[in-house]
Amino acid sequence: MIYFFLLLASFSTFATSDIKCEATYDQVGVTRQKVNSLHDYYYCFGYHHGKDRAWMMDYFRRVAQGRNAEVYGYSSLKSDLMMKLLDLPTLASRLYSGMPDQYKEWLKAYAQGANLGFQEGKNSQEFKDLGYEPESWEPEHSILVLVLQSFDQTRKTFFRDYEEEKFKEKWKENTEDLFNEDNVPWSNTILRDGEYESSKVAHKTTYTPPSKSKLWENFPDVFGKESGSNNWVVGKTKSKTGYAMLANDPHLDLKTPLFWYWINLQTPELNVIGGSVPGVPVIVSGTNGKVAWGLTNAYINTADAVFIKDYPEDFLVSFRPTVKVKLGFLQLPFFFKSFEKTKNGDLILPLELGNQDKMVLRWTGFGLKSADLLPMFNLLNTTTVTDMDEKLKQVGLPAWNFVFADTKGDIGYRVVGEAYKDTQKDSYGVSYEKFNEFAKRDLLDPMERPHVLKPKRDYVYTANNRHWPVNSKFYGGRGYSYSFRGFRIDELLKDGQHDVQSFKKIQCDRQVVDARFFVQKLLRVMDIPEFKGWDFNAQENSQAPSVYRRLMDLLMEGWQVNEYALFNMLDKLNEKQKSEVSSFYNVAKKQVAGRGWGDFHRLTFAHLSKNADWKFSPEIPGIGDNHSVDPGTSKWDPDSKSYEQFSGASMRMIIVMKEVPEIHLALPGYNRNYTQQQSSIPSWAEWRACIYNQVSFK
């Protein structure tokens, strides 16, 4: 029997015959739940996700299943097809079926709680407007959302292959030299001397001619096409307080609802608080009072697009996906032609080719084993950084950078997840491999994956930048970010000791870091008044960042280059190219039209579903810029002639690992039911102003 609670203050009580979920909510909206057992922990975890984020859970599930067209119609047909080809539900079912009984019981408890929570969560505006209710949550659906997040966050490593194909078509045999990433002045890596195995053999990139194939439709963006993140830790010797400190600000699409759900769950033996993804009963960033941890995208090579030729006839399996599409009150099946995948589960990408070559999407996630997921559920009971490191070694789900700290003042860092083992640079663009080469692709073993425990320098940071320097034995690919954020974080971290205030300043640093390296070169080409005297910060009233960002984008789009190539080009421009710089500047100045960065760069917090009618959040001036530590990653909107910020700090978390952890948190939206006004929860204006709330660890 369910006992509904009185809506008084911030207290609620729900119960079943033998499990009672009681929650209180603090000033940030963090859900605080005390339970009697680990089984009840998972049950109430699911209940609160289902109550507060039912639509979001259903949306993630439908994306992974390729079923959004059933609700949103023809506009979702192509993205549904791509997810049907990926076939994540089969992978999730296999992983769930192989789990030990204890883990299955936890996931069953979570699902039971979620379905109870759906009884209230189904009343959200999205379900009402669309006229349907969420289907029952099954235990394997949590695994499905987990592998969806993994794929979504690692696919950049193979999308980079296609970006490089465009560059190769333009620059041909000059591509390697022009786009060289090794010798730029902002280059920085996560690992330092003595923290990796070096090699005397130089990494060499192989050039292959560009392919002329028509590429497939993109997979749907779930967590962010250009998502990135920062995290760092300092040990007790670099902390003014004498305690280890950890910071984490994952950069995801800034949508409504907020991606993270913050929850504090307590049993008689455990007390865990942190951010979770609705649908998955795991605290991915937070603390249990003994250890704190935070994650970022690793962007190490976990996926490739590869042409194979001499494959055996029985290597491929044909299948025909079906997508149901909403048409009025009906759901009509849409039948597609046959597609192919390998026996290992790798997808043969749908291309228009004039030969028999096959382009394979090779992802390490397709080969996951059930045991590769289990350590993610065990992070909640770690006791020291050494214990955390041992658990993270065993995680096969690709691929994140974890930093962690404990109450002893020690820190550590480790990449989790299966990644390809490369000792040479791969070819630019889509590579060609013989079948034997394709079949024997090696993976890094856990001790070869980037890691360091209790480093002598007593700090580690990650910003989606490269793991190993040029002289390392291993090569991580070219899916990394451009390292500007990493350069700036290192600059701010390496000297002196730190406290909460200095951590906040770093997380909220809005310097346009790349401008420090490009403005000087641009001024040597022509006079640009807006750049003179600019301090390189993305200030709301300044026109300098407006002109700079538009000029840089016009240059890169017009010349078909990225930041690396543009940096190399600017010192040796011919007269025609110099004239083009002047033309691009005039276009940029006209489009800026005297607007400061706050007017030229806007943040709307669009709804995750892309439904323009659902507006639960305000429009505000965007923050930062593409390469700021506090980023304002944006895209140009030709209709409004302004930049639309779509990605940034989806949360800002700072934890001081005292005997009782000190937690500081800033969220860009409501943690709980975002469709209802909750004045007690910090506003977007506070997040934009970098105002943090101290969150209690009870």
Mean pLDDT for 219-237 is 83
Identify the pLDDT of residue 636. 97
Report, as an integer, the average pLDDT of 651-661. Answer: 98
* Distance between CA atoms of residues 59 and 279, nearest Å: 10
pLDDT at 440: 84
Residue 201 has pLDDT above 80, yes or no: no
The enclosing H or E element of 664 equals: strand 662-666
The C-alpha atoms of residue 393 and residue 93 are separated, in whole angstroms, by: 24
Q: Which pLDDT belongs to residue 214?
A: 60
Q: What is the pLDDT of residue 435?
A: 87
Give the pair of three-digit tokens for residue 22. Answer: 């009681």
Name residue, tokens 């969806």.
148
Q: Percent of the chain having pLDDT more than 70?
A: 93
pLDDT of residue 3: 30
What secondary structure letter does DSSP report for 337?
-
Q: What is the pLDDT of residue 431?
A: 82
Residue 693's pLDDT band, with cuts at 50, 70 and 90, is very high
Q: From residue 265, how far is each of 140, 282, 484 by CA, in Å? A: 22, 11, 37
Q: What would the pLDDT profile of 45-104 be if each residue is shown by its tens digit?
A: 999 999 999 999 999 999 999 999 999 998 899 899 999 999 999 999 999 999 999 999
Residue 34 has pLDDT above 90, yes or no: yes
Percent of the chain with pLDDT over 90: 73
Confidence of residue 274 (pLDDT cuts 50, 70, 90): very high
Mean pLDDT along residues 692-697: 95
Can you tell me the distance from the alpha carbon of 482 to that of 496, in angstroms, rounded to the nearest whole number? 26
- Position 173 scores a pLDDT of 87
For 597-644, what is each residue's pLDDT tens digit? 999 999 999 999 988 889 888 899 999 999 999 999 999 999 999 999
- pLDDT of 681: 54
- Average pLDDT score, the chain: 91
Position 159 scores a pLDDT of 75
What is the signed CA dihedral for 392, 398, 401, 403, rounded to 10 degrees? -20
Question: Residues 370-425: pLDDT tens digits?
Answer: 999 999 999 999 999 999 999 999 999 999 999 999 999 999 999 999 999 999 88
Over residues 647-651, mean pLDDT? 96
Q: What's the rounded Cα separation, in Å, for the pair 173 and 239?
A: 49
For the segment 135-163, what is each residue's pLDDT rounded down to a tens digit? 999 999 999 999 999 998 887 777 787 78
Q: For the segment 177-190, what is each residue's pLDDT rounded down to a tens digit?
A: 899 888 899 999 99
As a whole number, mean pLDDT of residues 462-475 equals 95
CA distance linking residue 462 with residue 229, whole number of Å: 8
What is the average pLDDT across 481-486? 95
**SS3 sequence, 47-72?**
HHHHHHCHHHHHHHHHHHHCCCHHHH
13 confidence band (pLDDT: 50, 70, 90): very low
Token readout for 212 is: 């002329």
Say if residue 684's pLDDT is above 70. Answer: yes
Q: Are 161 and 362 in contact (CB under 8 A)?
A: no
Given a contact cutoff of 8 angstroms between Cβ atoms, the answer to whether 562 and 610 are in contact is no
**CA 632 to CA 587: how far, in whole Å?**
22
